[in-house]
A and B are shown apart, each in its own frame.
Chain A
Amino acid sequence: MNSVDSIPAKNSLLSSQAESERTLYPYVTGTSVIGIKYNDGILLVADMGGSYGSTLRYKSVERLKPVGKHSLIGGGGEISDFQEILRKLDELILYDNMWDDGNSLGPKEVHSYLSRVMYNRRNKFDPFWNSLVLGGMKKGQKYLGTVNMIGVHYEDNHVATGFGNHLAQPILRDEWHENLSFEDGVKLLEKCMRVLLYRDRSAINKLQIAKITEEGITISQPYALKTFWNFSAFQNPTLGAEGSW
């Protein structure tokens, strides 16, 4: 891995002064977020870790947040950028509510707006270093979409960012169906999170699940998954090796 300062500045746009004002690499990061549609709404899951490089720096980062009444957002990547985005969204929703005219921004609108925000920042070479998942429900319509730091965005029945796209998506493609009950949805997400916990170094065993339905938004208290580490593959491989530990 290269040190940042060993990379020669190629042009003035990327020179040291400008560099210090841009997110060209993240500091504290969250890992995967997973979202699925289920029979009466959307479920999102994310763990609560905040990694400083390979150091587990924070253990209680809330990465699932409500946005107004109809939307729910989950964020991976740079935590400070995510919190800045939340601030912007709260402001957006506040101004929307202030009209008090019976119109409100739904998840589709918030997703579209977020896509523009992320894309505009990438155009300024000053990206929000995040992968975002947006779930929501308005007027009986379920909505699930995602955006990343360069503005790539799409909708799907199940989405997963980061490592989740490699490890959780195959499980979801296998087991997801339109009529998942809440219980089955949670089970499916926990299965995904368990795989991530075993295989994603920065995933931690403290997570939250958020649900949005016609009734409203609920975000669970943090909890841990049951794990099993006694598979022989997990045992100390150097056990019999003399001189090793």
Chain B
Amino acid sequence: MFRNQYDTDVTTWSPAGRLFQVEYAMEAVKQGSAAIGLRSKTHVVLASVNKANSELSSHQKKIFKVDDHIGVGIAGLTADGRVLSRYMRSECINYSYSFESPLPVGRLVVQLADKAQVCTQRSWKRPYGVGLLVGGLDESGAHLYYNCPSGNYFEYQAFAIGSRSQAAKTYLERKFENFMDSSREDLLKHALFALRETLQGEKLTSSICTVSVLGAGEAFHILDQETVEALINAFEVGAEEGPTDEGAAADQGGGATDQGAASADEGVAAMDI
């Protein structure tokens, strides 16, 4: 019977040049409920879908404040996500203790990626099973990064991770070109629409999502449920199968869909090691 000979530990290469354990870790990211992020010049919005394990339980927290200027959204093993956000929080606190200024986001992301990388090269360790969307603001502007269990990281204008994130990615790819100059409200709107895409027909309500914002003059914070509810109503995101082109200004027209589909494939390729 066939059995994969090269996936029993992290540090063993397959003849094809792959590290199966690392790839499995990246699969774990896809199992988690979706998290999305998008940014303009000045703001970052992170949002996630809350999936409770059972009717009787509450859902797990998927968006964490790291500092006033940094927040993360996670998909995958939430326990690993918590450990990594705790690490990021302490890095931020230590940096501001020494320098009395906020830690540049890009640097934190590199430190985080290096930490993840170590787990792909030690036989007694296991890669983190979590993908992190790191949003932040520093002197070079607003940033959104995706951090992956392999130790790779990418900077994005907008991105989605977790289960059925492809639908959200397709939506974001169709709209992202206007994000740079978008207002905070527009970002929130697109975040909610993108989030709805991952629900596949299920109605988007404030109880099944978490939305957070940070930006120039606005410290990272998670919006309370009433605010999210109000936004959903204002943008009519809750409407069943409503037109995704709500606010036609952001739409590209017919050709954009194809373009979106084409680059969606590229998006998948980027996920590979």
Contact = CB atoms under 8 A, between A and B. Distances in A.
A–B direct touch, CB within 8 Å, in complex?
A: yes
A109 B100 contact: yes
Interface stretch (A30-38, A40-48, A99-107, A126-134): A99-107
Nearest to B101: A109
How many chain A residues sit at the interface, stated as a range, is 10 to 19
B139 A116 contact: no
Interface string B2-42: 00000000000000000000000000000000000000000
B99 A109 contact: yes
Contacts of B98: 112-113, 116
B236 interface: no
A132 B18 CA distance: 54
A103 B140 contact: yes
A211 interface: no
A194 interface: no
A104 B99 CA distance: 12
A103 B139 contact: yes
A112 B99 contact: yes
Interface in B91-128: 97-101, 104, 106-107, 110
Contact of B140 (A101, A106, A108): A101
B138 interface: yes
Nearest to B104: A103
How many chain B residues sit at the interface, stated as a range, is 10 to 19
A103, A108, A116: most-surrounded residue (chain B CB, <10 A): A103
Interface in B135-170: 138-140
B100 A102 contact: no
Contacts of A104: 139
Contacts of B101: 106, 108-109, 112
B99 A103 contact: no
Contacts of A113: 98-99
Contacts of B139: 102-104
B100 A101 contact: no
A102 B137 CA distance: 13
A150 to B, nearest CB: 18
Interface in A103-123: 103-106, 108-109, 112-113, 116
B99 A102 contact: no
Contacts of B106: 99, 101, 103
Identify the 10 closest CB pairs spanning chains A and B, nearest first: A102-B140, A103-B104, A112-B100, A109-B99, A101-B106, A109-B101, A112-B99, A103-B139, A116-B98, A113-B98
Given A103-B140, A108-B101, 8 more contacts: A99-B107, A101-B104, A101-B106, A102-B139, A102-B140, A103-B107, A113-B99, A116-B98
